Structure 1
Amino acid sequence: MVMEIEEKVIEAKKASIILASVNTESKNAALEAMAQALDNNREKILEANRKDVETAEKLKRKGELSQALVDRLKVSDSKISGMIDGIRDVISLKDPVGETIDALELDQGLELYQVSCPIGLIGVIFEARPDVVPQVMSLCLKSGNATIFKGGSEALNSNRVIFDLLNQAAETIKVMPSGAFQLMETREEVNDILRLDTYIDLLIPRGSNAFVKYIQDNTKIPVLGHSDGICHVYVDEEADLSKAYAVCFDSKVQYPAVCNAMETLLINASIADRFLPKMARMYDEAGVEMRCDNSSFKILEQIDFIKSVGRVTDDDWRTEYNDLILSIKIVDSIEEAIEHINTYGSHHTDCIITENDMKKKRFTDLVDSSSVMLNASTRFADGFRYGKGAEVGISTNKIHARGPVGMEGLLIYKYILVGNGDKVADYAGSGAKKYTHRRLNKKASDALGK
């Protein structure tokens, strides 16, 4: 089994070299073929997904799968349309491969170019969500990266059907290399993939906190991603409360089973009596369980018809619920809110509701998160909504790529030095030539005759 996996990975690694040089027109043709394949096989995808969901529901009843995981697994006709739209959005994006990032004359006739290029072979290990396959494959294809996919067993049928449709469609385009995209299916393959740092250039895990942490702790391969999505909304005393109600409700309720949903609501003490009762009623009607600190509990325990209110624990501040559960805390100042976010948050997405411009700046300057929202739902932290076509994941890293990661996170660069028999010896010792180090308004393609 290990040898078979390694053979697949080596095949993909070799194909990545060819894929890196495929022209834009051919890549876009492959993407359109992929979109059409999904559109023409909707019922086939839905039937495969029904099998997975049926099995997942049984496991949920046994306590072996969470409701959040079951929710992420489900594919609908509208979700398939979203997959198709995502692929076509990627078609519309500019091809980033071969772009000149910088050009510098070292000396007359000696020119240095910094040029974008694919990372190479990307490994994507994910749980539940079958829509990860078209999202990531489309971005990797457009950016010239070969990809190994390893999905969870709970989505086995859905992943297989979607992957086969996309892969076969892409390979109908003549210049597309065979074997650039590979699908792994067994649980044992995860650990085998983690050991293949000789071939795999970057890993992108998508799944639960424990799952991502396991990947990060058990491989030498660089990992792009986040292990937690503990997101906050802070309602300032100078907030427009109509905006606050809308943003706080959407951030928690619109889709609670995802990493950019709010998990903790922070409220300034001076407006808590005015804001919290109505907000709690809205949450209560939506089935949200509220876990309150002492101050917020005192306000809500007086309201008889609000049933789902309890006490918060210290562990709650560090918990990503992925469910209709919310921690609530009343704070005395924006400074206390920022301190709480930076202490308990996961550097994912955090929001302030305020009309005070100085506080907006203070919040964005001091909150150490990959996305910071001003009077807008945390749920906007998404590659598609950010105009990236789709996303390969959301990263809380501080190197390479951060936040919702699109194609820019799948690129690195190389340096190309164009000379004419130049040698370093001429720039050393007595009478040495001097470097000009002059910026050039020139593309590498011009120097290379392309």
Structure 2
Amino acid sequence: MSEDTHAVNIAKAAKAAFEASQLIPSSERVQALHEIRKELEAVKDQILTANKKDLEHAQAEVDAGRMSASLLSRLDLGKGDKWDSMLQGVTDVANLPDPTGQVSYASELDDGLELYRVSCPIGVLLVIFEARPEVVVNIAALAIKSGNAAILKGGKESNETAQLLSQAIQSALSKTSIPSTYIQSIQTRAEVSALLEQDRYIDLVIPRGSNSLVRSIQNSTRIPVMGHADGLCAVYLDKAADPAKAIRVAVDSKVDYPAACNAAETLIVHENLLDTVWPEVAKALIARGVQLRCDARTLASLTARDIILNVQPSTPEDYSTEHLSLTISVLSVPSLSAAISHINSHSSHHTESIVTEDEQAASIFCRGVDSAGTFVNASTRFADGFRYGFGTEVGISTGRIHARGPVGLEGLVIYKYMLRSKGSEGHVVGEFGTGEGKKQFKHAKIDTTSAPF
């Protein structure tokens, strides 16, 4: 069977599974998530063994200079509490309210003619992501809970792990009334290319990775694309910054997980802090192994104090670079407006934070910065679906339509309009108008708690 034929069959199966699932009660979707968690727990050892193989292959790629160390760090499913967090995410999603069937608008157009706007699934999702194998489980959980079928393509560096995770999910689904083809995975780029042509069966593509990946997908398909690009996040130390908060927020934003898309890549310092707060923040970052790439003024402030370890001059390209490591670009600005201008010109519109005790400055920053997340006195690392209470996330969207920021369940539903006539003869449009004897629309609000759908 050719790659194209195989891909078409996958797309058809996904659409058929989606359509077959629409009358399945939400309680069955919740039960499916509990079955998935149980199955994952049962095959944990096999999955982690596969993950070690992926890590060994990836380390060889890093040693050969063909893979970055930051990408390698994202692959380890046994690191810290990653495995337990993945399982907890499944349970958390199961416990969230059903995002489908929610009425967001209701109006009585005429006596006995009622219009409702009701949330519903998008359809079949094609999700393409890099590195992190746990994304297979995260997306599967969100897709199932929101009533969407999904086709998943992870990076080749996590193939062994992703295959076993997908098999566990399908095994769990086979114990429910949801078709096992509701969640499918593919392995090759050729399959991706073929699926991007299947706009008849696939309703939304979600690329989660670099800007180049997102742009490549957008240029290769007629299917709508919800991009999840890189994270070029900034922390701005305002002239009214509290010194202790400045250190805590700057260090955590950079150091907590440098390879994450919500880690800070740029530190912006108000010029009034160059001789006070900035040197202390710099020393705290250097103490944690951070490399500082500084503009002329922030560099001069440090060299005057003989702070030279892990400090070097920056280049213009540094301020448009997602380092994904213990490196941060630093510059000084004369004003809040200059900081906002720099962020809007250089960031990826992911997440930015201001450290300040000035409420007006905080408000201006949050409204003026054009990013999916704007924080005050808080680490950029909080930009995460799990931390927001979404259970987990498909990714973080930096776009401006449909969904923005961490995309959880609400980002995976749209809506349909449902119109119901209770009239003895039904309703027809010809009875309405401006002429003599014509009816006028009432457009009276209806209590949404009594919706019949």
- Structure 2 length-normalised TM: 0.96
Contact residue 302 and residue 308 of structure 2 kept, 8 A: yes
Equivalence for 1:423: 428
Contact residue 173 and residue 180 of structure 2 kept, 8 A: no
Residues in 1 aligned to 2:323 and 2:174: alpha-carbon distance in whole angstroms: 41
AA matched with 2:167? D
Residues in 1 aligned to 2:375 and 2:389: alpha-carbon distance in whole angstroms: 16
AA matched with 1:384? F
Equivalence for 1:285: 287
Q: Residue 270 and residue 305 in structure 1: after superposition, are their counterparts in 2 closer, same or farther (change >3 A)?
A: closer
Equivalence for 2:374: 372
Contact residue 255 and residue 326 of structure 2 kept, 8 A: yes
Unaligned runs of 5+ in 1: none
Equivalence for 1:28: 30
Equivalence for 1:138: 141
Residues in 1 aligned to 2:174 and 2:382: alpha-carbon distance in whole angstroms: 34
Residues in 2 aligned to 1:388 and 1:279: alpha-carbon distance in whole angstroms: 33
Unaligned runs of 5+ in 2: none
AA matched with 1:127? E
SS of 1:273's partner is: coil
Equivalence for 1:186: 188
Q: 2:410 aligns with which of 397, 408, 411?
A: 408
SS of 2:105's partner is: strand
The range that moved more, 90-99 or 377-386, is: 90-99
Equivalence for 1:447: 452
Residues in 1 aligned to 2:219 and 2:324: alpha-carbon distance in whole angstroms: 23
Contact residue 280 and residue 306 of structure 1 kept, 8 A: no
Alignment of 1:336-347 (within 5 A): 336-347=338-349
Please say if 1:334 is aligned against 2:339: no
Contact residue 55 and residue 75 of structure 2 kept, 8 A: yes
AA matched with 1:236? D
SS of 2:363's partner is: helix
Contact residue 240 and residue 356 of structure 2 kept, 8 A: yes
Equivalence for 2:439: 433
CA RMSD of aligned residues (A): 1.3
Q: 1:164 aligns with which of 167, 176, 186?
A: 167
AA matched with 1:433? K
Deviation, 1:443, is 4.6
Contact residue 38 and residue 80 of structure 1 kept, 8 A: no
AA matched with 1:329? L
Q: 2:315 aligns with which of 288, 313, 330?
A: 313
SS of 1:270's partner is: helix
SS of 1:267's partner is: strand
Alignment of 1:29-178 (within 5 A): 29-76=31-78, 78-173=81-176, 175-178=177-180
Q: Percentage identity across aligned positions?
A: 43
Measured against aligned partners, the alpha-carbon deviations of 1:1-29 in whole angstroms (never above 9, x if no partner) come to: 11011101111011111223321211111
Residues in 2 aligned to 1:289 and 1:356: alpha-carbon distance in whole angstroms: 30
Contact residue 239 and residue 353 of structure 1 kept, 8 A: yes
Residues in 2 aligned to 1:303 and 1:225: alpha-carbon distance in whole angstroms: 44
Contact residue 103 and residue 443 of structure 1 kept, 8 A: no
Equivalence for 2:396: 394
Deviation, 1:134, is 0.8
Please say if 1:200 is aligned against 2:202: yes
AA matched with 2:431? D
AA matched with 2:43? N
Contact residue 20 and residue 117 of structure 1 kept, 8 A: no
AA matched with 1:349? T
Deviation, 1:212, is 2.2
AA matched with 1:273? D
The range that moved more, 412-421 or 117-126, is: 412-421
Residues in 2 aligned to 1:34 and 1:226: alpha-carbon distance in whole angstroms: 26
Contact residue 56 and residue 70 of structure 1 kept, 8 A: yes
Runs of 4+ in 1 over 4 A off after TM superposition: none
Aligned residues: 446
Contact residue 291 and residue 309 of structure 1 kept, 8 A: yes
Residues in 1 aligned to 2:58 and 2:365: alpha-carbon distance in whole angstroms: 41
